[in-house]
Amino acid sequence: MILDADTIRKDFPIFETKMHGRPLTYLDSAASAQKPRVVIDRISDFYASRYANIHRGVYQLSAEATLEYEAVRTRVADFIGAPDAREVIFVRNATEAINLVARTWGEEEIGRGDEIVITTMEHHANIVPWQMLAQRRGAILRVAKISDEGVLDIDHLVSLLGPRTRLLAFTAVSNALGTINPVAELTTIARERGITSLVDGAQAVPHQPIDVAALGCDFYVFSGHKVFGPTGAGVLYGRLPVLESMPPFLGGGDMIESVSFEGTRFAQVPQKFEAGTPDIASVIGFGAAIDYLETIGMDRIADHERSLLVYATERLGEIPGLRIIGTAKEKAAVISFVLEDVHPHDIGTILDGEGIAIRAGHHCAQPLMNRMGVPATARASFSIYNTREDVDRLVAALQKTWELFH
């Protein structure tokens, strides 16, 4: 059964809000997704009637909050195909997950002259932590090329892999181009060479079914807020033996087994990586988001967004002077574009006046923008609550923008 976005919209209270007196067309889900009422209610109910700290109290409220929090861990593991719930570490977001790996696994495994391979289409979150690690350890960062269409050059990537390559870190889906990378192929290439792999799934998890075991990656990271959950809850998935071999990240309460002034014994995975009071309510809200997505079905979501992408790509072709940046055959419902000499920020501002929210800028992917020969783009990204009518409104507003400037 195809997804009915008009019905889905009713689950999201934000669409009752008018923008400059107009209905909201929200085309910035790649930055952050809107929240369904079930998520908002679960958080609010938790604070109102079930709130307590976790992993500490012997009293009922705390014990139940702990159960609820840990149930989300199991829920996430099932959702992404992790064989063991202990492989799910709760962090704030994808950025923190990557930094955790760089600061723990990276400090142990990366030495002078070792090499880390990434791609040209990475978000800054999957560049800067590796650059910082390489600087600390005297390692080398190598970057796989992409084509003019925004497709990863796998031959070039393979040519970069050598005896000193320790890590292949790449995005599953480009936030700025929409390109979908062949994740399983890339993790196989890494595994066959004994190279650890980290997949940045921030733009993949909201849009398609994920099975980390089938993908065969060592690490997989994503943010709950892009998956209709609240801000403050993200996930680091790691294969259990890898996580167990890693030193802890932050030190403090909850991540220990015992502490004395002579020394500390650390807790087992996953507690070893979750020092201090976590964002309990956000994790619990994130659980509601996963429940919500599963009632819709990830395959239906992927089909809906694919059909919106085809329709939007076709319709945007009607605008004079509009050029789509990123035209890979395998694409998520993200369309980056430039409109001849109109600055993307001007496009964003004019569209805002029409009640249309898009992103304008470098999308935290400055090296990618340089590669594509543009300083910035305007970006429309689509999700479950977007309709063809949203696309039509976008196209009409862009026509108007074009006319204003020419």
Ligand X SMILES: Cc1ncc(COP(=O)(O)O)c(C=O)c1O
Question: Active-site residues: which are they?
Answer: 364
Kindly tell me which of 325 and 397 has the beta carbon lying closer to ligand X: 325
Q: How far is CA 150 from the centre of its chain?
A: 19
Choose, by CB under 6 A, the member of 29, 95, 99, 187 that binds ligand X. Answer: 95
With binding defined as CB under 6 A, does residue 202 bind ligand X? Answer: yes
Q: How far is the CB of 158 from ligand X (least distance, A)?
A: 22
Nearest to 336 by CA among 346, 325, 322, 328: 325
Q: How far is the CB of 204 from ligand X (least distance, A)?
A: 8
Choose, by CB under 6 A, the member of 42, 103, 123, 359 that binds ligand X. Answer: 123
Nearest to 382 by CA among 214, 207, 208, 201: 207
Kindly tell me which of 97 and 161 has the beta carbon lying closer to ligand X: 97
Q: How far is the CB of 66 from ligand X (least distance, A)?
A: 26
Question: In this structure, which amino acid lies at residue 390?
Answer: D
By CB under 6 A, what part of segment 34-93 binds ligand X?
A: 93
Per CB under 6 A, the segment of 121-129, 161-169, 258-266, 331-339 that binds ligand X is 121-129
Kindly tell me which of 96 and 254 has the beta carbon lying closer to ligand X: 96
Choose, by CB under 6 A, the member of 29, 181, 203, 401 that binds ligand X. Answer: 203
Cα(347)–Cα(356) distance, integer angstroms: 10
- The pattern of x and - marking residues 315 through 354 that bind ligand X according to CB under 6 A reads ----------------------------------------
Kindly tell me which of 177 and 397 has the beta carbon lying closer to ligand X: 177
Q: Is the dihedral of CA 297, 298, 303, 306 positive or negative?
A: positive
Q: Are 117 and 157 contacting, i.e. CB atoms less than 8 angstroms apart? A: yes
Tokens for 281, please give them.
């309510």
Cα(82)–Cα(169) distance, integer angstroms: 19
Question: In this structure, which amino acid lies at residue 330?
Answer: E
Burial string for 358-368 (b: 16+ CB within 10 Å, else e) reads bbbbbbbbebb
Per CB under 6 A, the segment of 196-204, 257-265, 325-333, 373-381 that binds ligand X is 196-204
Kindly tell me which of 175 and 386 has the beta carbon lying closer to ligand X: 175
Residue in the block written with tokens 């789509």: 324
Per CB under 6 A, the segment of 73-81, 122-130, 277-285, 331-339 that binds ligand X is 122-130
With binding defined as CB under 6 A, does residue 175 bind ligand X? Answer: yes
Nearest to 381 by CA among 145, 28, 12: 28
- CB count within 10 Å of CB 63 equals 15
Question: In this structure, which amino acid lies at residue 131?
Answer: Q
Rg value, the chain, Cα: 22
Per CB under 6 A, the segment of 71-79, 195-203, 381-389, 396-404 that binds ligand X is 195-203
With binding defined as CB under 6 A, does residue 197 bind ligand X? Answer: no
Could you list the beta-strand ranges (E) of 206-333: 219-223, 234-238, 256-260, 263-266, 322-325
Q: Are 238 and 219 contacting, i.e. CB atoms less than 8 angstroms apart? A: yes
With binding defined as CB under 6 A, does residue 125 bind ligand X? Answer: yes
Q: CA neighbours within 13 Å on the CB side: how many for 299? A: 1
Choose, by CB under 6 A, the member of 28, 200, 218, 390 that binds ligand X. Answer: 200
Choose, by CB under 6 A, the member of 29, 34, 223, 401 that binds ligand X. Answer: 223
Choose, by CB under 6 A, the member of 25, 171, 196, 208 that binds ligand X. Answer: 171
With binding defined as CB under 6 A, does residue 120 bind ligand X? Answer: no
State the pairing for strand pair 165-171/196-200: parallel
Q: Which residues bind ligand X (CB under 6 A)?
A: 31, 93-95, 123, 125-126, 171, 175, 200, 202-203, 223
